[in-house]
């Protein structure tokens, strides 16, 4: 495989201008990152969804900077040329700007991320301004913001009525003006998503935001068929990896129990032990 050029913000901006769809998936470990890199995925998000799909929590709130920076560094080792987005976890950018900049700096310096992502509406404009001034590119996550689940009253699609859609469009403009480098829209109807994507030069990545965004993202475990339970309606499963893993484990169990594994070819040859009892 010939190594590709490093994906940068300029590459994503060019893809948008050329109308070339940007692919983005989450990853949380080295081997999966290698697979995404080999496949040519442009963007990888080390999402705080790790709290759910890796750690088994029931929301994204229970994960911290140390853990996500460690995962992001592993993903970077596996995917050196992808555009790597580090997701800033709950309460890592809310308390004050200094803390936000320090935490974001860890994703950039210690993990080699290309930008960080933070969730919020117009109320995080100042935070984005301060982070950008500190040379940290920020992707702003609008629409359904899972870190605000208790405020939003559940995981509900956003911007579904005219007022909500207009508010979303205004929020996007405010965050662009504040210096955001890209937008991520989660669980919003296609109409406001299209209006936002057409009104800005920023790459707009949709996650359940219809076909008109500049790119699309899914949680890897959801699209591979590893996650169990009810998934959001925008998720499409492209594999059934949970069943594949289960079949492999069942095969191993049955061969261990029947004595078929390990066979001679899995066994080291050594000097014959004389009279070994
Ligand atoms: O944490 C995450 O995985 C996300 C999704 C939008 C993909 O933020």
CATH at residue 55:
3.20.20.60
Boundaries of domain holding 103: 9-246
Does residue 251 lie in a domain region? Answer: no
Q: What is the pLDDT of residue 272?
A: 73
Does residue 151 lie in a domain region? Answer: yes
Local confidence band at 196 (pLDDT 50, 70, 90 cut-offs)? very high
Q: What is the pLDDT of residue 271?
A: 75
Number of domains in the chain: 1
Mean pLDDT across the chain, nearest whole number? 96
Does residue 258 lie in a domain region? Answer: no
Q: DSSP string covering 127-149, please?
A: HHHHHHHTT--EEEEEES-GGGH
Does residue 118 lie in a domain region? Answer: yes
At which residue do the structure tokens 């990896």 appear?
A: 241
Does residue 261 lie in a domain region? Answer: no
Does residue 269 lie in a domain region? Answer: no
**Could you count the other beta carbons within 10 Å of the beta carbon of residue 209?**
31
Does residue 203 lie in a domain region? Answer: yes
Measured in Å, residue 24 CA sits from the centre of ligand 1 at: 10
Options 98, 186, 191, 228, the catalytic residue: 186
**pLDDT tens digit sequence for 203-255:** 999 999 999 999 999 999 999 999 998 899 999 999 999 999 999 999 999 99
- Report the pLDDT averaged over residues 26-52: 98
Ligand 1 residue neighbourhood (C-beta within 6 Å):
26, 45, 47-49, 87, 184, 186, 207, 217, 219
Active site (annotated) includes residue 186: yes
**pLDDT tens digit sequence for 84-130:** 999 999 999 999 999 999 999 999 999 999 999 999 999 999 999 99
Q: Please, which contacts does 120-126 make with residues 24 or more away whose CB atoms are closer than 8 Å?
A: 120/145, 120/175, 121/145, 121/167, 121/171, 121/175, 122/170, 122/171, 122/174, 122/175, 124/93, 124/175, 125/174, 125/175, 125/177, 125/178, 126/97, 126/178
> Is the pTM of the predicted complex or chain greater than 0.85?
yes
Does residue 234 lie in a domain region? Answer: yes
- Rounded to whole angstroms, the Cα distance separating 95 from 103 reads 11
Residue nearest to atom 4 of ligand 1 (CA): 47
Q: What is the dihedral of CA 66, 68, 73, 74, to 10 degrees?
A: 120
């Amino acid at each position: 495989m010939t190594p590709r050029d490093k994906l940068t913000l300029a590459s994503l901006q060019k893809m948008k201008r050329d109308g070339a769809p940007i692919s983005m998936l989450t990853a949380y470990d080295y081997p999966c990152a290698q697979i995404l890199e080999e496949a040519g995925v442009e963007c990888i998000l080390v999402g705080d969804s790790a709290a759910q799909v890796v750690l088994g929590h029931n929301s994204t709130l229970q994960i911290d900077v140390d853990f996500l920076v460690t995962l992001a560094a592993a993903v970077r080792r596996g995917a050196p040329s992808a555009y790597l987005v580090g997701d800033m976890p709950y309460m890592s950018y809310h308390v004050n700007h200094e803390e936000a900049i320090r935490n974001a700096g860890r994703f950039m310096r210690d993990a080699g991320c290309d930008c960080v992502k933070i969730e919020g509406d117009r109320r995080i404009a100042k935070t984005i301004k301060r982070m950008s001034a500190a040379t940290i590119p920020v992707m702003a996550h609008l629409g359904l913001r899972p870190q605000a689940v208790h405020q939003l009253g559940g995981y509900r699609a956003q911007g579904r009525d005219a007022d909500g859609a207009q508010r979303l469009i205004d929020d996007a403009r405010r965050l662009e003006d504040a210096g955001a480098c890209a937008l991520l829209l989660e669980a919003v109807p296609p109409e406001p998503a299209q209006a936002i994507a057409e009104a800005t030069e920023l790459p707009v990545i949709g996650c359940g935001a219809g076909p008109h965004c500049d790119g699309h993202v899914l949680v890897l475990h959801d699209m591979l068929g590893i996650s169990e339970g009810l998934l959001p309606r925008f998720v499409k499963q492209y594999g059934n990896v949970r069943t594949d893993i289960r079949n492999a484990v069942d095969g191993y169990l049955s061969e261990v129990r029947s004595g078929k594994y390990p066979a001679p070819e899995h066994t080291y040859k050594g000097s014959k032990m004389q009279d070994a009892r």
